[in-house]
Amino acid sequence: MAPGRILRSTSPQQPDDVVGEWPDGGKEAVETAVSRASRASHEWRAARAADRGRALAEAADRMASDARGLAELMVREVGKPISEATGEVSRAIAILRYYAQMALDADGETYPSGSGRAWLFARRRPRGVAGLITPWNFPVAIPIWKLAPALVYGNTVVLKPATDAMACGLRVASYFDLPDGVLQVVSVGSLGASRLAELREVDALSFTGSSRVGTGLAVAAAGNGIAFQGEMGGSNASIVLPDADLAVAAPMIASSAMAFAGQKCTATSRVIVVGDMERVCAALVAAVARLNVGDPARPETVVGPVISEGARETARQAARDAEAAGGRVVAGGGSIDGAGWFVSPTLVRDVPREAELACEEVFAPICAILAARDVDDAIALANATPYGLVASVFTRDLDMAMSSIDRLDVGLARVNAPTTGIDYWAPFGGAKGSSAGPREQGKAAREFFTKTVTVQIEPSH
C-alpha cells in the first residue's frame, strides 16, 4: 500500500463536497487482486455460457432498479448533466442485456480439412485475467462496455476506475453477484494501475484515457506478452461544406463540441469551413449561445463544469494561446463565476493550422474554427493531427459525402451527424494515435477478449 496516501473524489460543481475517500492500495493491491482473479479463472471459464449470460442480465436488473440513484451519483461525482447521466445509465443497462444474449452466440467456425476426413474448426476461448483501466468521463458506460464482454466470454476482471469516478466504479461493481475473485475493483493511483501491464498473470489489458499514459502501458504490456487495447482520444473535425443545412448542422456541432463541457474523446474540437466563413461562424455562435450552462443537476443544463481546477486552467490557457497565435475568440473564453470549475463555451476562429488548438485535444468546451480552400484542403486539414478517432462531414451532396468519408483517416466517419455518440452494437475505435488493438463494443469485442484455438480431429483409422 502507498503509505498514508488517500485517493479523494470531489464534486466539480461543489469542490468542497467530498464524494469519497479511499486508501491507495498501491501495487500490492493490484498484485493481490490479479492473483485472486487468476485462481478464479478456471472455474469461471468452465461455467455454462448461459449462466454467465444470466449473471449479466441480473446485474442489468439491479442497475435498472437503481437507475436514478446511479445517475445522480454520476452528476455529483463527475458533473455530467442529469440528462446525459440518465442516458448513460440506460445505455449501460442495454449493453449488459446485449452481452447477456451474446453468451449464446456461436463460439467458433468450421473449415474443410486438407484430408477431407478430419474435422477442422476454430474455437474461441477466454484469454484469462483481464485488466481494465477506465476514465472518469463515462464512469458507467465505459466500465460496462469493457467488463460485460470480458465476463460473458469467460474472463475474470480486475477493474481500476479513475480516482475522480471511484464511487461510480464501486457502485457499478456492486450490481454483480459473481463467484469470489471473478470481478474486483482496485482503489489505486497511477503507479498501482501500471502494475496491470507488468504482471504475467494478466492476459489482456484494456485502457481508455490519455495518449501519453496509454502509450506507456502499451509498451509495457507488449514487453510482458499481455494483449493490449487502448482508446486514447482525438482531435475531431466537423467539415462544413457550402451546401450544408446550417439550421441543422450548427446546433448539432455546438452540442457535440460543448455538451458535458466538451469532455468526450469524440467531442468536436475543430470546425473546418469550406465556403462562407462569416455565415458559418454566426450560426455556430448563435447555437452555442443557446446552450444552457450551469448546475448539472438541472434538467435543462447542457454544459456543466470541467472535472477539476487544473482542467479549467488548461481550457483558459488554450484560449489565450490560440489568441496569441492569431485566432479570434468569438464566444466565451473565460471562467464563469461560482464555486465550481465552470468554463464558458468557447469558439476561436481563424486559428492558424499549426496552433495547438488546431491539432491537439484540450478536453474542454473550446472549439477552433478553421477555413479551408476547398474539399481536398478540408480533408487534408482534418487528417493533419496525430489522432484519427472520428470526423463528420455536413453536406447535402451524396457523391461528395461518399468520396469525402473514404479519404478521412479515422475509425468513425459520419455524414450530417455529430462526432459524438455511436450505437453500442457497432465497432468503436480510431486510427493513428487514437487507438491500439482491436475495436471495442458489439461483436467486435470478442476479438480482444477471446483467443482462437484451432482444432483438428482425425479419425483413428
The catalytic residues are: 231, 265
Measured distance CA(50)–CA(63) in Å, rounded: 20
Q: Can you read off the three cell numbers belonging to residue 151? A: 465476463
Residues present in the chain in total: 461
Secondary structure element (H or E) that encloses residue 386, with its range: none
C-alpha dihedral (308, 137, 410, 443), degrees to nearest 10: 160
Measured distance CA(312)–CA(95) in Å, rounded: 32
**Burial class of residue 286 (count of CB atoms within 10 Å of its CB; 0-12, 13-18, 19+):** middle
**β-strands 435-436, 227-231: how paired?**
antiparallel
CB atoms within 10 A of CB 21: 12
CB atoms within 10 A of CB 429: 22
Give the CA distances from residue 34 to residues 128, 131, 212, in Å, rounded to whole numbers and listed in that order: 11, 8, 24
DSSP single-letter state for residue 224:
T
